[in-house]
Structure 1
Amino acid sequence: MLARCTLSLTALAAVLLLSSAALGGNYTLREEISGQQFLERFWFWSYNDPTHGTVDYVDQFTAVSNGLATVNANGAFVIRADNTTVVPPGQGRRSVRLHSRRLMSDGILVGKISFMPQGCATWPAFWTCTNDRWPAGGEIDIIEGANDQGPRNLASLHTLYGCHIAGGYRSDQTGFTGQPDCSYQPGCSASFTANSSYGPQFNQNGGGYFAMRRETGPGDPGIGVYFWPLNTAASNLPAAVSAIADGRAAPKYVVTNANATGNDRRELAKWGTPSAFFANVANSSASATALATGAEPVCQMQNFFGDHEIIINLSLCGDWAGETFGYSGCAAANGNVSCDNFVRNNPSQFTDARWEIDYMRVYDNAAASSGRSAQWLCFSIALALIACLTL
């Protein structure tokens, strides 16, 4: 019995690991979200703001009944900050923070956005993150900025200690990496080069498309964040990004690895170079000095990234927008008031503090369960088989 059980376990584990490797870079459409579907696929965070903003995040009932979560005439899902109320001292302006009900791990996240929050004191973010023990499990910031300090978007990672990326301009991204250490705050980040990728210029241009490709398993390339302005021809966009916008149905799967052939390879070529790229560099390829000091790029990503929620929010002031309110020019332009006083006493300044999201879609591994990876499935089945060894 022991010999048969051991042989079966070994054989099945090998098959599962081979299947997992084959599935890497082969992602299936799991969710396609637009309009009212956002109310079903996301839950509303109604707790204190972890980033200490002058903001009061409200529940779904309050958001919908007060017009803070709506669908506009164009069918876009809109979440916004309150722009009608003078807020008493010690309170925050009402706003919305959404968390996806389904988790995602490795795969592709796409969003077409027509409008993002703009204005002094605003701190909008579109990101993915573990749901506890931050930064264990990692954080990936796809869109982020504060006080209209664009016009270029900033993409970032936040991890535990031990993840470093290469700095400066590089051939594997179009952006510029100014912060190479990914640990905690401020994390590692890359500033985009496209002037229309954030804030007022993004909105004046009618919006655009963002995508994040997360491939963090052993031997995978890493994490890329992509941006295309709205005026990009649909023929120059991956179908997974442009579908719906150009009348086509979204493809059911996307292949990003070397197995891509034919149309899959043509689609892969349309991705081009990401605006921000964070390389997956195994510990075994780094020197002892790099591992000890971070003097060279090294980030064995399977050690730093777990299952993530997708989060869309708008904070006001707080740890970033509040800190930079003065030297951003916002204080001087508004009578040198504090960020907190500006937010509470000027509701009309937040008319443009809103997200308009046309659609979002998630592709992940074909073996995923609630966003978990094929490796997790292999591990779970193997544990069940191990039990037979004790019989």
Structure 2
Amino acid sequence: MLSRSAVSVTALAAILLLSSAVLAGNYTLREEITGRQFLDRFWFWSYSDPTHGTVDYVDEFTAVARGLATVNSDGRFMIRADNTTVVPFGQGRQSVRLHSKRLMSDGVLVAKFTHMPQGCATWPAFWTCTNDRWPSGGEIDIVEGANDQGPRNLASLHTLYGCHIPTGSRSDQAGVTSQSDCSYQPGCSASFNANNSFGPNFNQNGGGYFAMRRETRPGDPGIGVYFWPISTAPSAMPAVVAAIANGVSAPKYVVTNSNATGSDRSELAKWGQPSAFFANTANSTASASALATGDGSVCQMQDYFDEHEIIINLTLCGDWAGETFGFSGCAAQYQNASCESFVRNNPSAFTDARWEIDYMRVYDNASSPNGRPARLLSFAILLAMIGYLVV
């Protein structure tokens, strides 16, 4: 028979787990960012490019002074690459890379873009990542592509060894998974099925909405990335995505789990199928083959994903756009120039190399400004439990 203290500890552990489970899938609006608010909520990376691009990431003062970070006449926050300067040999073209000041863990991230960078040598990305030693703590790529090689967006995960996603077409996503092993580079990735989800086609269509649902705790489903083209009726999208477009304020919370009832259940149905889905599959539920070979689904996500910064950037050339510049057709288009030479000597080619962001919003269940997940019981319950334990 268990002692009273053992029973008490067991009961406390059970309640703590229950409180965490209740919080999972029920997220509160923490940030809604528009216009100049981006300057307050993000910091400007002004160091060398970790992906070895032909860029010079500038600080906030330089970006604002040179018009590389501004609010346009439509009220959209815009960041761009320089498109006026011939760059000396050995230097990179000035561009912008933003990191959120507040960290995000599990929750919902939404962004509406009217325009994303396009053109040869461009490599735009909207993503979240640990600020620790990459890829420890994980990376989630929501929007990414290079050299206009869409027209379909690519969503990816990058982790330490041990996370695998099944390849091919699957019933849990609209897109197609081409890479299974999520570790390091190239990570595991899924190509969207929408032809207007990236690059020139996205811009010609007038933009669209992206959302990422990150739910990585034990028993949670995993990570889904969603896309709706601008032509989608606001009433057909979740209110957390379409609120401003629909002329109403964003809802204060969102419920994503199957326990939703009433209007929350109606909202949940509007999410539909994600464009890309990465399942949270615990080691205890994975097949023997998946555990032994990675041929199947195994990704115990609590082991791979920590708090993340939200990042939006534009690099040029580098590890992806530089390596694919030749067979993308860009080199032939510009007299077989190298990617680096093209970037330095053709400023006008970067007229459309810009992000135009209508809004971004973050929902989570954070207990502190840095985004740590809330796992707290009410003060009264804690007092009661402590009193019971010490009697």
TM-score by length of 2: 0.94
Name the residue aligned to 1:87.
87
Name the residue aligned to 1:133.
133
C-alpha deviations, 1:191-238, integer Å up to 9, x for none?
001010000010001000000000000010000000000010011010
Shift of 1:12: 3.9
Quick check: 2:82–2:350 contact (8 Å CA) kept in 1? yes
CA distance in 1 between partners of 2:184 and 2:235 (Å): 39
Name the residue aligned to 1:308.
308
C-alpha deviations, 1:123-164, integer Å up to 9, x for none?
000000000210010000000000000100000000000000
Quick check: 2:192–2:276 contact (8 Å CA) kept in 1? yes
Letter of the structure 1 residue corresponding to residue 219 of structure 2: G
Letter of the structure 2 residue corresponding to residue 200 of structure 1: P
Shift of 1:296: 1.9
Quick check: 1:253–1:363 contact (8 Å CA) kept in 2? yes
What does residue range 180-259 of structure 1 map to in structure 2 within 5 Å?
Answer: 180-259=180-259
Name the residue aligned to 1:17.
17
What does residue range 96-175 of structure 1 map to in structure 2 within 5 Å?
Answer: 96-175=96-175
* Structure 1 position 56 matched with structure 2 position 93: no
C-alpha deviations, 1:272-298, integer Å up to 9, x for none?
000000001110012333212212211
Letter of the structure 1 residue corresponding to residue 370 of structure 2: S
Letter of the structure 1 residue corresponding to residue 143 of structure 2: I
CA distance in 1 between partners of 2:35 and 2:367 (Å): 28
RMSD of equivalent CA atoms: 2.1
CA distance in 1 between partners of 2:118 and 2:289 (Å): 43
CA distance in 2 between partners of 1:91 and 1:23 (Å): 49
Gaps of 5+ in 1: none
Quick check: 2:19–2:377 contact (8 Å CA) kept in 1? no
- Local SS of the residue matching 1:362: strand
CA distance in 1 between partners of 2:360 and 2:86 (Å): 33
C-alpha spacing 1:85/1:377, structure 2 compared with 1 (3 Å): farther
- Local SS of the residue matching 1:283: coil
C-alpha deviations, 1:11-68, integer Å up to 9, x for none?
4443222111101000000000000000000000000000000000000000001100
Quick check: 2:240–2:251 contact (8 Å CA) kept in 1? yes
Quick check: 1:70–1:77 contact (8 Å CA) kept in 2? yes
Gaps of 5+ in 2: none
Name the residue aligned to 1:72.
72
Name the residue aligned to 1:287.
287
C-alpha deviations, 1:218-268, integer Å up to 9, x for none?
010000000000010011010000011111100000001122001000000
CA distance in 1 between partners of 2:376 and 2:313 (Å): 29
Letter of the structure 2 residue corresponding to residue 236 of structure 1: A
CA distance in 1 between partners of 2:43 and 2:316 (Å): 20
Letter of the structure 2 residue corresponding to residue 275 of structure 1: S
C-alpha deviations, 1:174-196, integer Å up to 9, x for none?
00001011010000000001010
TM-score by length of 1: 0.94
Shift of 1:377: 9.1
Quick check: 1:23–1:366 contact (8 Å CA) kept in 2? no
Name the residue aligned to 2:178.
178
Letter of the structure 1 residue corresponding to residue 131 of structure 2: N
Shift of 1:121: 0.2
Shift of 1:367: 4.3
CA distance in 2 between partners of 1:376 and 1:319 (Å): 43
CA distance in 2 between partners of 1:237 and 1:140 (Å): 23
C-alpha spacing 1:376/1:341, structure 2 compared with 1 (3 Å): farther
Quick check: 2:115–2:356 contact (8 Å CA) kept in 1? yes
Letter of the structure 1 residue corresponding to residue 94 of structure 2: R
CA distance in 1 between partners of 2:74 and 2:118 (Å): 20
Identity among equivalent positions (%) equals 78
CA distance in 2 between partners of 1:175 and 1:207 (Å): 19
